[in-house]
């Protein structure tokens, strides 16, 4: 693919100045509807098939990005992030949409979230401090966590976050004792509605008997509500629940609404208090493989708002202020991981394609059995497609990035592979395993690329090692 406006050559780690342009000049075709990608909602809307076997995203060649910034690397389509944030706001115009920062956060994302009018859901003092460095309004921040550290709470109270979600009874006095005053700190109680939902047992967080929240059924939630109402430094603003992740059906949210609204009515009847807020968390599904079920925000929104109206009418309650916390559904499809093939091994009737990344930058397959699709970019050929397994470089048999994917039979060392739907829970969960260094993140928009997070180098790792 021909490129225009390229700046000086790469540095030692493959990066270039943040203003580098990699604008695609050649004619491209929409990625959707082309051959095997006809149902590939896994790619950003801007993705197009380009000559030479390449793919361009936001007008930028993926093969060229791999050359300029090195691999492994993560590419993030800024306009896709913004479009998905707007889709949630359109779906729920009267609700508060709060981006779940744990999916992926950096300074640029903080800015995008604020500019699109979303709030921010954080889980640590580190995420809080990062938001503060960008001047994100503290009253639009929600602090979560089943085990908040003293530093987490001190930072939240110092910055004046809008809401703290109480996840266990022991937090109540701890928070109340630190409120600087004179205004009370607004809190939500995270409740367990007793609903099994989510793609994997490890990401189902609304069921009984796990580490998050306080059970409605066994009375823990009711006890926490009573204790908070007795603490003058705290203002109980409402209830929170989170069912899990990768929930492909809107009905669990509707059932959660019915159960939590019933509890709101019970609180009113016991204490004479009508709580004004209901936060339903996130967990909305995205497509990782072509054809995966991934309802649009409007599908979830209709189910939630209809159930909320019916339940509140049944119990004679006013409609509470609704909050949702999409993270993955905003970020996942905006991201693409780029790897370079290091080795191809044909053994035991299988083809293993080993790349220069792996579970250190994407632990999801090892943790949850997550599945991805993979495409070679930057080299065209007429070779037939064959089933292969893409594996990482780490010393674990479970370091598998993608099982049973179709790749050209002539795949070889040096080829570049693109893995779509990689924007969420990959860089944010990256580790330093084998001291390989975490990958860079590059934003693309309107034919230009810029570095958001540089590659972690050995010097970064060495400086942390102070045990001489």
CATH number, domain containing residue 214: 3.20.20.10
Q: What would the mean pLDDT of 210-236 be, rounded to a whole number?
A: 93
Please identify which of the residues 106, 123, 241, 395 carries the catalytic annotation.
395
Same domain, 304 and 337: no
CATH for 41 = 2.40.37.10
Q: Is the pLDDT of residue 466 over 90?
A: yes
217: tokens are 């059924």
Return the sign of the alpha-carbon dihedral for residues 413, 416, 421, 424. Answer: positive
425 known ligand binder: yes
Task: Residue 223: name the closest of 185, 259, 191, 187 by CA.
Answer: 191
pLDDT class for 194, splitting at 50, 70, 90?
A: confident
Same domain, 417 and 368: yes
pLDDT class for 31, splitting at 50, 70, 90?
A: low
Cβ neighbors of 282 (< 8 A, separation 6 or more) are 100, 121, 242, 245, 324, 325, 326, 327, 328, 329
Same domain, 162 and 98: yes
Tell me the C-alpha distance between 138 and 463, whole Å: 33
The boundaries of the domain holding residue 418 are 3-70+333-464
Q: What is the DSSP letter of 429?
A: G
Q: What is the pLDDT of residues 228-273, one digit of tens each?
A: 999 999 999 999 999 888 898 999 999 999 999 999 999 999 999 9
Q: What is the pLDDT of residues 399-419, one digit of tens each?
A: 999 999 999 999 999 999 999
Local structure of 292: helix, strand or coil: coil
Q: What does each C-alpha distance from 98 to 190, 323, 325 come to in angstroms?
A: 16, 7, 5
Same domain, 320 and 429: no
Same domain, 372 and 299: no
327 known ligand binder: yes
Same domain, 288 and 149: yes
Same domain, 285 and 403: no
403 known ligand binder: no
Rg of the chain in Å (alpha carbons)? 24
pLDDT for 368 equals: 87
Within 92-148, residue ranges assigned H as helices are 107-115, 125-133
Q: Position of tokens 């004046």?
A: 160
Q: 119-122 and 375-377: which strand pairing? A: unpaired
368 known ligand binder: yes
pLDDT for 22 equals: 41
pLDDT for 40 equals: 40
Phi, psi dihedrals of residue 60, rounded to the nearest 5°: -120, 130
Poorest-confidence range of 183-197, 277-291, 438-452? 183-197
Q: What does each C-alpha distance from 402 to 43, 127, 352 come to in angstroms?
A: 16, 30, 10
291 known ligand binder: no
Q: Is the pLDDT of residue 207 over 50?
A: yes
Q: What is the pLDDT of residues 117-139, one digit of tens each?
A: 999 999 999 999 999 999 999 99
For the whole model, what pTM was predicted?
Answer: 0.90
Helix axes 297-315, 78-91, angle to 10 degrees: 30
421: tokens are 């739907």
% the chain with pLDDT above 70: 88
pLDDT for 383 equals: 95
pLDDT for 209 equals: 67
Return the sign of the alpha-carbon dihedral for residues 331, 294, 373, 83. Answer: negative
pLDDT for 351 equals: 97
181 known ligand binder: no
Same domain, 35 and 147: no
114 known ligand binder: no
Same domain, 300 and 230: yes
Q: What is the pLDDT of residues 148-170, one digit of tens each?
A: 999 999 999 999 999 999 999 99
Same domain, 66 and 85: no
- Residue 401 CB coordination number (10 Å): 29
Which of 278, 293, 326 is where one domain is finished?
Answer: 326
Q: What would the mean pLDDT of 5-22 be, rounded to a whole number?
A: 34
pLDDT class for 33, splitting at 50, 70, 90?
A: very low
Tell me the C-alpha distance between 36 and 49, whole Å: 12
Tell me the C-alpha distance between 180 and 144, whole Å: 20
Tell me the C-alpha distance between 234 and 241, whole Å: 19
Q: Position of tokens 């992030």?
A: 81
User: HEC profile for 154-221?
Assistant: HHHHHHCCCEEEECCCHHHHHHHHHCCCCCCEEEEEEEECCCCCCCCHHHECCCCCCCCCEECCCCHH
307: tokens are 């159930």
Q: For residues 366 and 22, which has the higher predicted lDDT (pLDDT)?
A: 366
pLDDT class for 468, splitting at 50, 70, 90?
A: confident
Q: Structural domain tally of the chain?
A: 2
Taking every pair of Cα atoms in the chain, the longest distance, rounded to a whole number of angstroms, is 73
DSSP element (H, E) containing 406: strand 400-408
Q: Is the pLDDT of residue 208 over 90?
A: no
Which of 294, 326, 358 is where one domain is finished?
Answer: 326
Q: Is the pLDDT of residue 375 over 50?
A: yes
364 known ligand binder: yes
441 CB burial (10 A radius; 0-12, 13-18, 19+): buried
360: tokens are 């250190």
Same domain, 320 and 396: no
325 known ligand binder: yes
pLDDT for 12 equals: 32
312 is annotated as an active-site residue: no
175: tokens are 């928070």
Q: Position of tokens 């491209």?
A: 28
Same domain, 351 and 418: yes
Q: Is the pLDDT of residue 202 over 70?
A: no
């Amino acid at each position: 693919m021909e490129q225009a406006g390229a700046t000086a050559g790469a540095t030692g780690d493959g990066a270039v100045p943040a203003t580098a342009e990699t604008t695609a000049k050649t004619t491209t075709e929409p990625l959707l509807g082309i051959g095997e990608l006809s149902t590939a909602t896994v790619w950003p809307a801007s993705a197009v098939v380009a000559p030479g076997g390449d793919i361009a995203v936001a007008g930028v060649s993926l093969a060229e990005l791999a050359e300029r910034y090195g691999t492994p690397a993560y590419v993030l389509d800024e306009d896709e992030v913004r479009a998905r944030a707007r889709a949630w706001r359109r779906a729920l115009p009267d609700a508060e949409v709060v981006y779940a920062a744990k999916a992926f956060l950096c300074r640029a994302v903080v800015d995008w979230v604020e500019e699109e009018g979303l709030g921010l859901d954080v889980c640590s003092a580190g995420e809080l401090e990062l938001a503060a460095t960008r001047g994100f309004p503290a009253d639009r921040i929600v602090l979560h966590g089943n085990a908040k550290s003293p530093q987490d709470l001190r930072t939240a109270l110092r910055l004046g976050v809008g809401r703290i979600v109480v996840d266990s009874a022991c937090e109540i006095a701890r928070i109340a004792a630190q409120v600087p005053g004179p205004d009370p700190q607004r809190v939500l109680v995270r409740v367990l509605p007793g609903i099994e939902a989510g793609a994997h047992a490890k990401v189902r967080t609304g069921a009984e008997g796990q580490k998050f929240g306080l059970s409605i059924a066994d009375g823990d939630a009711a006890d926490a509500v009573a204790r908070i109402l007795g603490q003058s430094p705290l203002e109980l603003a409402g209830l929170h629940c989170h069912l899990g992740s990768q929930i492909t059906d809107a009905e669990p949210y509707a059932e959660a609404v019915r159960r939590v609204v019933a509890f709101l009515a019970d609180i009113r009847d016991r204490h004479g208090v009508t709580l004004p807020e209901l936060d339903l968390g996130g967990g909305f599904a995205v497509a990782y493989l072509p054809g995966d079920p991934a309802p649009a925000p409007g599908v979830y929104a209709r189910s939630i708002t209809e159930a909320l109206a019916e339940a509140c009418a049944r119990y004679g309650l006013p409609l509470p202020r609704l909050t949702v916390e999409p993270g993955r559904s905003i970020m996942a499809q905006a991201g693409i991981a780029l790897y370079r093939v290091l080795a191809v091994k044909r053994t035991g009737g299988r083809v293993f394609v080993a790349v220069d990344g792996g579970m250190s930058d994407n632990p999801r397959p090892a943790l949850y059995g997550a599945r991805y699709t993979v495409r070679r970019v930057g080299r065209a050929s007429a070779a037939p497609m064959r089933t292969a397994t893409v594996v990482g470089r780490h010393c674990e048999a479970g370091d598998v990035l993608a099982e049973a994917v179709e790749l050209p039979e002539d795949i070889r060392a040096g080829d570049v592979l693109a893995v779509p739907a990689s924007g969420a829970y990959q860089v944010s969960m990256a580790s330093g395993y084998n001291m390989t260094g975490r990958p860079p993140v590059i934003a693309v928009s309107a034919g230009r690329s810029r570095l958001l997070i540089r590659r972690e180098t050995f010097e970064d790792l060495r400086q942390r090692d102070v045990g001489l």
